Amino acid sequence: MRRVAAFLYLTHTLGVLALCFLGPYRMVDPGFGDLPYFLLLAVHLSWAIYLLLPSKGQNSGVLIWFVRLPEVLLSLTLLLFLFSYIYALNANMDYVQRFMATGGELGLAQDTSLERRLTFIRYGPLLSAGIVVYLIQRMYHRAQLRKIWSNSASVPTWSAIIQMWSFPLILLSASLTALAFPSSVNLDGIALLAFVSLVPLFVVLRVVSYGWGLFYGVCFGVFANLIINYWLGPYSLVSLQVTIIVFFLFYLFFMIPAVWLYRRIRRYRFLVLPLAWVIFDYLRSMGFFGYPWGFLGTTQYGFLPLIQMASVTGVWGVSFVVVLINSALSETMLGLALLRGPSDGSAGAGSAARVMAGEGTHANPLRPLYISVGVLLSVLLLGSIYLSLDVYENPLGPRRSVRVALIQQNSDPRKHEYSSSFSTLRELTDAALKHRPDLVAWSETAFVPNIRRWSKEDPAVYRLARLVGEFTTYQKSTQSWLLTGNDDYDLVIDEFGEETRFDYNAAVLFSPGGSREATYHKVHLVPFTEYFPYKSELPGIYDLLLKFDVTFWEPGAVRSVFRHPLFNFCTPICFEDTFPMDIREFVLGGADVILNLSNDYWSLTEVEAKQHFIGSLFRAVENRRPLLRSTASGYTAYVDSAGRLVDGLPFYEEGYLVVDVNLESTGLSVYTRFGDWFPLACVIGLSTLLLICFMPRYRKPRHRK
């Protein structure tokens, strides 16, 4: 078997290595970006050579490593293959081709189809060898592995089967989780899958050793989020790489304590991972690395009775319920299997129960499921009662509303010709003005030229100054309040008289008379692609980002709330509307309406736009404030304060949406008042479970000989 595996690895590795330098699809000028691929080839080659060396015998420990290491190789190969296949989307981008033509350090083919063909050629043989070796090993050593992993009669045979096929189960869990979100398979997402997608993961974590539990947990996190966030490929030349690295670190730091607690805490074990998952989601949404995308709770955006709890707990409570159902199902399945005893009929069912479930496991394996279903039904009942009494939908007195026109020009302002985009904006705005809106809202950087700067320059000399002059003239002619995304800047002069310029991604509000009433500078910038605060500490990474054509902004300092004669509103820009705590601060500052300005055109896929939308929808429910979204293209829409989609525009079409926004308010929601109390409660709950497991009453008793 060793020689068969060595032959497969050796021939496939040498074959693709030859293709890289000798074949018609050879790498013309391998660069830094190809280093991971060549390292992967080196690891495959080293493993093949090791397998050819004389074996000194094969005890159980050697056999386990002999079987497990191909799993690691297969996971690395699959990860790099998926990354390369997704990253190939950049090959069709005009700006990427210009970047490479001007000396940019990036090696891609001239189009996506060719780059993806190269990906299959370079990774296909390695993947096929890995899969064949994986399957042959498990069939050839099946009896030995079952005996080792089932520990004779101590653990049921089915646990050995789970260990044998852990990697496919993890990939299944990652795939089901990704499909629960909007995807290319189903744009709405298959929300029901979220309630079962983690079951394979949790079962594996219960059965395998602690070290392999960390490996499988990290594999799940990286693969699931790579599939969910595949659209990041063309966002920038570094975003997908950064996402993989960041999520690897996220899940590594999460799984180290989570898996330990899951294996250590035996009483009410089914609560451990739901509590830990909420804490993890909360922590990964904070700080410079904050990326609040892919929360499991957001998959339930269409399940209105369930998501009403977000006004109390935030989105964290919805995620808790979803993970709780998964955990209860996995615990119930394992509990029922343990009661049945080993599947081969051997003795030791009682010992199996002690080993697998531990002291303190509920006598009734259905109890976790009863509790979790009870929690779910209670939440649904309360949510349904709220919806039936919703004062926003059924006001007791006369309605108070404001009419807003949302403009979707269906172009990427930064990559299309500025005057052409402005012409489209004017045409759509003129049509919308016939409905006499109180406010017209354009998207993020809908008008790109810096209005503050170019209004001071001579329009007879500078083209951008002329375009800004046309904008100000047009805006005055509308005799309407106009909100637009725009570049902005500040000039700061230090004590030595040196001038420093700070550039911002901004939202600007103009009055009907043409005066600039207020400006908001985006506070929460996208890490690595909009903002990198460690220029001095990590100059190498900063220079590398610049080489890959990254443009940086300065973060704003104030979460401004705009004052309109009829209402107050905030303007979170782009992915700021996915941060629960940030939007809460806007509402505490007096915002009656959340008006998000975004540009999702760049992704060229409806999937990213829909995922962005479902994440932002929860800000309306959490704060009981209506949500408006004005996008260059993405999902321009109006969501009421209960999370109902009132109206929206089709993806990737020019258009405008005029909506009458209901301003009825009953004050601040529980979430707005008290913030992220639920993750803190999860910390307290998890700490309590940990303390209980150390109490003498619940410790595992020592058996006398």
- The string of pLDDT tens digits covering residues 56-92 is 656 666 777 778 888 999 999 999 999 988 888 776 6
pLDDT of residue 99: 57
Distance CA 216, CA 199 (A): 13
Asked which of 40-54, 100-114, 626-640 is least confident by mean pLDDT, the reply is: 100-114
Confidence at 666, pLDDT banded by 50, 70, 90: low
Average confidence (pLDDT) over 585-593:
95
Beta-carbon contacts of residue 405 (< 8 Å; ≥ 6 apart): 429, 432, 433, 435, 437, 439, 440, 441, 656, 657, 658
Distance CA 77, CA 80 (A): 5
Angle of the 199-207 helix axis to the 166-180 helix axis, nearest 10: 150
- Inter-CA distances, 179 with 82, 112, 676, Å: 16, 24, 28
> What single-letter DSSP state applies at residue 489?
E
**What is the sign of the dihedral through the CA atoms of 357, 359, 362 and 368?**
negative
pLDDT value at position 28? 58
> In whole angstroms, what separates CA 672 from the centre of its chain?
24
pLDDT mean over 189-202: 97
pLDDT in tens, 458-508: 787 788 999 999 999 999 999 999 999 999 988 877 667 777 888 999 999
Neighbours of 193 (CB within 10 A): 17
Q: Note if 576 is an active site residue.
A: no
Is 682 a residue of the active site? no
Give pLDDT, residue 697: 58
SS (H, E, C) 296-342: HHHHHCCCHHHHCCHHHHCHHHHHHHHHHHHHHHHHHHHHHHHHHCC
SS3 22: coil
pLDDT at res. 681: 97
Write the CA distances from 397 to 192, 393, 665, integer angstroms: 38, 11, 12
- 511-524 confidence digits (pLDDT tens): 999 999 999 999 98
What is the model's pLDDT at position 349? 38
Q: Over the stretch 259-270, which tens digit does the pLDDT of each residue have?
A: 999 988 887 899
Tell which wins on pLDDT, 137 or 167.
167
> Both tokens of residue 386?
């709220």
The CA-based diameter of the chain, rounded to the nearest angstrom, is: 98
The stretch 99-108 carries a mean pLDDT of 59
Length of the chain, in residues: 705
Residues 688/261, Cβ–Cβ less than 8 Å: no
Pairing label, strands 593-598, 482-493: unpaired
Least confident of 26-30, 322-326, 372-376, 540-544: 26-30
pLDDT digits (tens, 9 = 90+) for 387-439: 988 655 555 555 689 999 999 999 887 677 888 999 999 999 999 999 999 99
Find the catalytic residue in 574, 576, 610, 664.
574
Task: Summarize the confidence of residues 592-615 as an average pLDDT.
Answer: 93
- DSSP annotation of 554 reads P
Q: Which two tokens stand for residue 409?
A: 């020009």
pLDDT-derived band at 152 (thresholds 50, 70, 90) equals very low
Query: Who's near 378: CB < 8 A, 6+ residues apart?
Result: none
The mean per-residue pLDDT over the stretch 547-556 comes to 78
> What pLDDT band is residue 182 in, cutting at 50, 70 and 90?
very high
pLDDT band, residue 97 (cuts 50/70/90): low
* b/e 643-654 (16+ beta carbons within 10 angstroms → b): bbebebbebeeb
pLDDT at residue 317, as a whole number = 97
Pairing of strands 401-408, 645-648: unpaired
**What is the predicted pLDDT for the residue at 31?**
64
pLDDT confidence tier of residue 536, bands split at 50, 70 and 90: confident
Does residue 100 register a pLDDT over 60? Answer: no
DSSP string, 671-692: HHHH-SHHHHHHHHHHHHHHHH
Q: What is the pLDDT of residue 50?
A: 80
CA-to-CA distance for 680 and 451, rounded, in angstroms? 44
The total of other beta-carbon atoms located within 10 Å of residue 401's CB is: 16
Give the three-class secondary structure for 628. Answer: strand
The span from the CA of 316 to the CA of 677, in Å, is 10
Most confident of 496-500, 600-604, 650-654: 650-654
**Token pair for 564:** 């309109």
> For the residues of 164-177, what is the DSSP string, one character each?
HTHHHHHHHHHHHH
Exposure string for 137-148, b = 16+ CB within 10 A, e = fewer: bbeebeeebbeb
CA 617 to chain CA mean position, Å: 15
**pLDDT digit string, tens, across residues 223-268:** 999 999 998 887 777 788 888 999 999 999 999 999 999 988 887 8
Query: What mean pLDDT value characterizes the chain?
Result: 85
pLDDT of 564 over the 70 cut: yes
- What pLDDT is recorded for position 146? 72
Residue 369 has pLDDT above 80, yes or no: yes
| Overall average pLDDT of the 586-602 stretch | 94
Please report where in the chains the tokens 């069912």 appear, as a residue. Answer: 349
Which residue, among 35, 24, 29, has the nearest Cα to 544 in the 3D structure? 35
One-letter amino acid at 661 equals V
- Work out whether the CA dihedral 347, 350, 351, 357 comes out positive or negative: positive
Confidence band for 360, pLDDT divided at 50, 70 and 90: very low
**Percentage, residues of the chain above pLDDT 70:** 85
Distance between CA 316 and CA 296 in Å, rounded?
A: 9
The span from the CA of 45 to the CA of 323, in Å, is: 41
* Distance set, CA 333 to CA 202, 287, 327, 338, 488 (Å): 11, 38, 10, 9, 57
Q: What is the CA radius of gyration of the chain?
A: 28
What is the Cα–Cα distance from 215 to 210, expressed in whole angstroms?
A: 9
Residue 97 to residue 661: CA distance in whole angstroms: 44
Least confidently predicted of 12-21, 357-366, 460-469, 620-629: 357-366
Residue 278 above 80 pLDDT? yes
DSSP 640: -
pLDDT band at 287 (very low <50, low <70, confident <90, very high): confident
> Which conformational region is residue 103 in: left (phi greater than 0), alpha (psi within -120 to 50 degrees), or beta?
left
Residue 493 has φ and ψ, to the nearest 5°, of: -110, 120
Residue of 115, 219, 331, 522 marked catalytic: 522
Q: What is the DSSP letter of 436?
A: -
pLDDT in the model for residue 353: 41
User: What is the pTM assigned to this prediction?
Assistant: 0.90
The structure tokens 């089901």 sit at: 176
- Is 427 an active-site residue? no
- Alpha helix segments (H runs only) across 58-198: 60-87, 94-101, 112-140, 142-149, 157-164, 166-180
- Winning range, highest mean pLDDT, from 119-123, 129-133, 670-674: 670-674
